Amino acid sequence: MKFKKCSKETSVYCKQEGDTLLIVAIYVDDLFVTGNSLRGIQEFKVRMSSKFEMSDLGKLTYYLGIEVHQGIDGIKIKQEAYAKRILKEACLENCNPTQLPMKFGLKVSKSQGKTELDPTNYRRNVGCLRYLLHTRPDLAFSVVVVSRYMQSPRKSHGEVMKNILRYLKGTSSYGLKFKREGSKKIVGFSYSSHNIDQDDGRNTTGHMFYFGSAPITWCSQKQDTVALSTCEAEFMAATEAASQAIWLQELQSEITEWKIEQVIIKIDNQSAIALTRNSAFHGRSKHIHKRYHFIRECIENGLVDVEHVPGVEQEADIITKALAMIKFTEMKSLIGVGEMSKTESKLKRENVG
């Protein structure tokens, strides 16, 4: 059928014929198709049905645990049913909710506490929560923290896990909204927290990329090496973000055939920004592994650029450390995570109409 496999994401196939674009995403024996021509989509379904035994489930509403609500104003995604199932399996469906997934300033380490937990249940909860991160960037940091102790979980780690689940109890209907007619530019935020791990002294780094007003990809993880300064930590985080930016840039261009545009990465550290642009800062950067200098080449080639953003507007902050109540609420709103159930009945009426 003249589809081409996407080299950057091998489960995606594309076909461009004139002004008609079709995109097919495949997972085992499930697939969904989208494009800019309803007629093209219908023809695709007819041809596929003539070759294979298939069921047409109509407009996308549920896919791999993700609930999708499509309306005039945009697309909303959430994992409410999946979140409730996690709580039920953990026997916490009737627990009291909390307002924070992790307490501000909490320090967690491997040697904290002597009482060991059943690792099977702990690992099951971690695995379930990690899949929930597809629509919940506000949970990214806390889930990453509990993921570090799966080998030998202690009672203190179980208490952190329970707090996450209690937060999930009050926010199970939260998700993301992708508005129509938004910007088509990719913009990223890069940050490295000063929340140094108690066990190995490494910082937590994170990046978040937006397409329009909603985040499309985010990552929170410990850095590979110990940073000797905040400038170095931010510089290494920016390099990791640049690698993700290049992948997103090429993926977008391959699927849509749009011209590759420069990706802006926003950083709140002026010294790190200067270091990405000025290789003369040899004394400050000579000990940094050469692979972290990749971002300089990206900037020189015009593929990415870095901009300063005030700390209060650094949206990657929420995925790199535990925040206080007011700050967490502000950041959660800033990245677009919020209640998705209130308009569900309205969306159903629009679909029926």
State the average pLDDT over residues 59-65: 89
pLDDT of residue 285: 59
Residues 191 and 290 in one domain: yes
The chain-wide mean pLDDT, for the chain, equals: 87
For position 288, which CATH number holds?
3.30.420.10
Q: Is the pLDDT of residue 201 over 90?
A: no
Domain boundary among 143, 173, 203: 173
Domain for residue 155, yes or no?
yes
Q: Is the pLDDT of residue 350 over 70?
A: no
% residues pLDDT > 90 (the chain): 51
Residues 292 and 200 in one domain: yes
User: Using CA atoms, how far apart are residues 144 and 204, in angstroms rounded to an integer?
Assistant: 10
How is residue 89 written in tokens? 């399996």
Domain for residue 312, yes or no?
yes
Domain that holds residue 271: 183-322
Q: Is the pLDDT of residue 200 over 80?
A: no
pLDDT of residue 203: 84
Higher pLDDT, 333 or 105: 333
Domain for residue 29, yes or no?
yes
Residues 230 and 317 in one domain: yes
Please enumerate in sequence order all residues whose Cβ is within 8 A of that of 57, keeping only pairs 6 or more positions apart, or say none.
none
State the average pLDDT over residues 73-77: 90
pLDDT band at 337 (very low <50, low <70, confident <90, very high): very high
Q: What is the pLDDT of residues 109-147, one digit of tens each?
A: 887 777 888 899 999 999 999 999 999 999 999 999 999
Domain for residue 223, yes or no?
yes
Domain boundary among 124, 151, 173: 173
Instruction: State how far Cα 274 lies from the chain centre.
Output: 27
User: Using CA atoms, how far apart are residues 54 and 29, in angstroms rounded to an integer?
Assistant: 10
Domain for residue 293, yes or no?
yes
pLDDT band at 342 (very low <50, low <70, confident <90, very high): low
Say how many domains are in the chain.
Answer: 3
| Range scoring the smallest mean pLDDT among 153-157, 182-186, 245-249, 287-291 | 287-291
Domain for residue 263, yes or no?
yes
| Range scoring the smallest mean pLDDT among 123-127, 207-211, 257-261, 330-334 | 257-261
Residues 199 and 297 in one domain: yes
Quote the pTM value. 0.87
Please enumerate in sequence order all residues whose Cβ is within 8 A of that of 172, keeping only pairs 6 or more positions apart, or say none.
80, 83, 84, 87
